[in-house]
Amino acid sequence: MQVLACLNGETMPVEQARVPVWDRGFLFGDAVYEVCRIYAGRCWLEDAHFARLRRSLAELEFPPVDIDRLIDRVHQTIAASGVGEGTVYMQITRGVAPRSHAYPDPPVEPTELIVVRPYDDSATARLRESGARLLSHPDLRWKRCDIKTTNLLGNCIATEAARRAGCDEAVLIDTDGYVTESTHTSLLWVRGGRIEGTPEGPEILPGTTRQLVLRLIEPLEIPFAETKVTLDELTAADEVILVGTTTEVVPVVRVDDRRIGAGSPGPVAGRLWEAYRRAVEGWLAGRPSVA
């Protein structure tokens, strides 16, 4: 099964996709993106992802982008790929223009890229059973993490540090000593039977899976609160949980050299995972209750 790209409306094998060197996404990271999980050939949480994409484009004052056309192209590319279980990556750059820091004036046509590829969940599935290990790392990212841009060098540095330390993910710590989130997942923790998370704002991405989890916990009667915690407070929590588009729900058993809770996946993470799977299964069966 080949990986397909749709570049500005033209579908091709991903190896054939090319952009000019003057593309502002290549030169400046002047681009936004989204990733959707594909189940049975369909985009999970599609409306939420495209709503966040619209917000990212607006926050960066992009020229108009035809989102309805983009959605159609996403569906067509998925169908052409034959991918049943996978991901769809969507990236929009400000377009091609001579290199200058100022935005092109007049605006140029944005560059639109869609990539559909299979996703193997087996490694993440093992982490759901064993629990993930995290490395704490300074948060080196820019000050508008609420916009989903391709400026991910800070994330890459932290991810590489975690990999070299034999960890599965990094938890980011801001200059005031507070936990923000992880490099490619939202971070939640449990204290006293309550799920908590960093307050939404410029320091973290408004995670679509995090928002889903907040809806899932309502019938479970698990309360939620936004709060800031230090690394010491995080490691003293009863449970720590990663949630994300491909991660779905993964418990954390260790941060640095400190054990979380009993050092094994906790009960709240288990309940969240069961609720998540039921939500996906209900959506696929035509019984959407939370998506």
Residue 10 contacts by C-beta under 8 Å, 6 or more apart in sequence?
none
Cis ω before 106 (30° cut-off from 0): yes
| 31-39 and 42-43 strand pairing | antiparallel
What backbone torsions phi and psi does residue 149 show, to the nearest 5 degrees? -100, 170
Q: Does 143 qualify as catalytic in the annotation?
A: no
Q: What is the rounded distance in angstroms from the CA atom of residue 68 to the CA atom of residue 82?
A: 22
Q: What is the rounded distance in angstroms from the CA atom of residue 16 to the CA atom of residue 177?
A: 45
Helix or strand run (H / E) with residue 270? helix 267-284
- Residue position matching structure tokens 């980011």: 172
Q: Which two tokens stand for residue 7?
A: 């570049």
Catalytic: which of 24, 73, 148, 210? 148
* Closest to 173 measured CA to CA, from 133, 232, 127: 232
Q: What is the rounded distance in angstroms from the CA atom of residue 80 to the CA atom of residue 45?
A: 21
Beta strands of 8-109 (E only): which ranges?
Answer: 10-13, 31-39, 42-43, 86-93
Residue 75 contacts by C-beta under 8 Å, 6 or more apart in sequence?
43
Question: Active-site positions?
Answer: 148
